[in-house]
Chain A
Amino acid sequence: MRSTRPLDRFPLVHTQNAEEMCAALAMIYAKPKLSLEGRSNEGDATLNYCLMKDIGLGYSKYGIGARLAYRESDFTLQTFPLRGRGEATLNDLAIQVGPGRGMTVSAGTSYSVKYNAGYEHLVLVLDTSVLTDKLIALTGRSASRPLRFHATGDEVRPAAKSLRDHFLFLVETMSTSAAPLAKWVLAEFEQTLMVMFLHANRHNYSHLLEDAPADSAPRQVRRAEAYIEANWHRAVILEDLAEVSGVSALALLRSFKKSRGYSPAELLNRVRLDHARELLRHSDAATVAGVAATCGFADLARFENVYSLAFGERPSETLRRGAGAKPAGF
């Protein structure tokens, strides 16, 4: 009796050997450190992988208990467990995974997982630079910091369910369709999954997607925004923005207010505050005064004031919490 597994048309490896499994994983994602529990010939590991253009659809099972440790990779991925259970550790966070509870791994994140013998999952692998381009295209704003996703989300949210349903639909279609899909259809599904991925997963640019209605803002506004995103650490004056956007300062101000509801100065402030928060959280040598200066706030008291207003806590509090999350020795 040979049951068909998802994506069996795209076999990558079927093996009892851990090294081969590693070699196969390295081909599509990143080479993990893998150890299998029990004797290796007890396992029955399968890895299927369908690479589209910018995304990949994978299926894997190990057949026996397995532990994997991955170093950082360039890919972003989300797992959709089908059976069994597992535990993942990423960013010092322990995550239980199982049917209905997968996880999202950002590019540049190292993580480890432990699966029980019955564990099987589907995985959606996305090219992070293409995903970032998609985000930029959707929001009309540049993304100066790397796209970081929350590791877990609420899977019953309609947006999450919709991503899952669309992903499973594509896996099913690729696994069973009697004829190859037209390239137009494949390309459109890739676009759709990327959009739904950005919608379903919380990330450090979610707020842009929430307040940006599909961008109808005039070009001068988008140019000015791109300039602000690129030059936030310098003194940016309205005249600079007028020059890059090719309209008068007054016209720029008006179209900003009209299409965004806020002024360029307010945006600059917000971008600087976001950067300040990142630095306070993650920089090892940060001080509040240093961060304020780096981010273009000449007046420390004013910085503390606007920061507290924006984030509901004082910069020193962010710094203190960030210190706890940093590796020991700092």
Chain B
Amino acid sequence: MNAAKPLDNFPLVRSRDIEEVREAIARIYAKPALVPAPGVKALDATINNCRLQDIDLTYGAFGAAIEIEFPATGFFCQLFPIRGKGDVIIGSTPTTLTAGGIAVVPADAEVSGKYSDDYEYLVLRINARKLTEKLAALTGAAIQEPLRIEPQQNWRHPASQILQQYVPLLIDTLSDANPPFPEWWIAQTEQLLMTLFLCGHCHNYSHLLEQDVPDAAARQVRQAEEFIVANAERAISLEELAEVTGVSAFSLFSAFKKHRGYSPMEFVAQRRTRQGKIR
């Protein structure tokens, strides 16, 4: 059972001793109430913790059935169970954690739960104050009311999926890395994680992040391209493309320039030469 675990190059604790594990967790979060299940004498805990700046990533396994209670820490946490099972209450919401599942912990929520002896997990933790600053920077809005992220989320939403796929990739990268990382590398990685986190969850400021549907333009470009390909045998005017896509000729032109780097008419010309040659 000595297979490499995620983030093994950032060991926090390897211990059978309950108090030692408690103390180790207290060094990174807050001291938890940690109680082994009846009959359990010792743990076989492995906890790894990679701290960037305002974000950290943790891998943990306790090696015994336990109950554990965390106070609120001022961090948003995303939990990625990778083995075993946990029955937890996040704030006041009961949740079952199983491999492949996911959960988010609001910054002001306590988490308590019982975990199976084979439970293993990854956690992404983001400083709530820094995340709020990032939100303000992205949207340009003044953030008065605290950022609230409800535990129930649509985890199948594409924006959430990107975060779910990205975190394991980053953990892989970190697990292969030789720390220390350059500060500017860390800073950029944190910016990306915070952005993915804010866009990947539904929260009380989501509407600010959605107001500008970014890829409407790209959709028009694709529509126009399909039309051009389908009608490559005849002359097509920019106005006709504008009509098909339902936007002005000018915005279609700018959308092409922006998303493709060339104009719609250049694309038309290119398709037409091609058509001519094939025949």
A positions within 8 Å CB-CB of B: 9, 11-13, 15-17, 19-20, 23-24, 27-28, 49, 51, 53, 56, 138, 158, 161-162, 165-166, 169, 173, 177-186, 188-189, 191-192, 195-196, 199, 209-210, 213-214
Contacts and interface: CB of A to CB of B under 8 A. Distances in A.
B169 interface: yes
B209 A13 contact: no
Given A158-B178, A185-B199, A179 B260 contact: no
Contacts of B189: 192
Contacts of A158: 173, 176-178
A9 B222 contact: yes
B184 A138 contact: yes
B184 A191 contact: no
B169 to A, nearest CB: 5
Contact of B270 (A20, A169, A186, A189): A20
Given A9-B222, A181-B214, 14 more contacts: A12-B260, A13-B274, A17-B278, A19-B277, A23-B270, A165-B169, A165-B173, A166-B169, A178-B158, A181-B159, A188-B196, A191-B192, A196-B188, A213-B183
A196 B138 CA distance: 22
Contact of A180 (B195, B215, B260, B266): B215
Contacts of B212: 183
Given A20-B273, A184-B209, A213-B183, A179 B173 contact: no
Contacts of A49: 260-261
17 contacts: A15-B274, A19-B273, A27-B260, A27-B261, A27-B270, A51-B261, A56-B261, A158-B176, A182-B199, A182-B209, A185-B162, A189-B192, A191-B191, A191-B192, A192-B191, A192-B192, A214-B187
A19 B158 CA distance: 39
B188 A209 contact: no
Interface string B22-36: 000000000000000
Contact of B183 (A19, A56, A166, A214): A214
Contact of A214 (B161, B184, B225, B274): B184
A47 B154 CA distance: 36
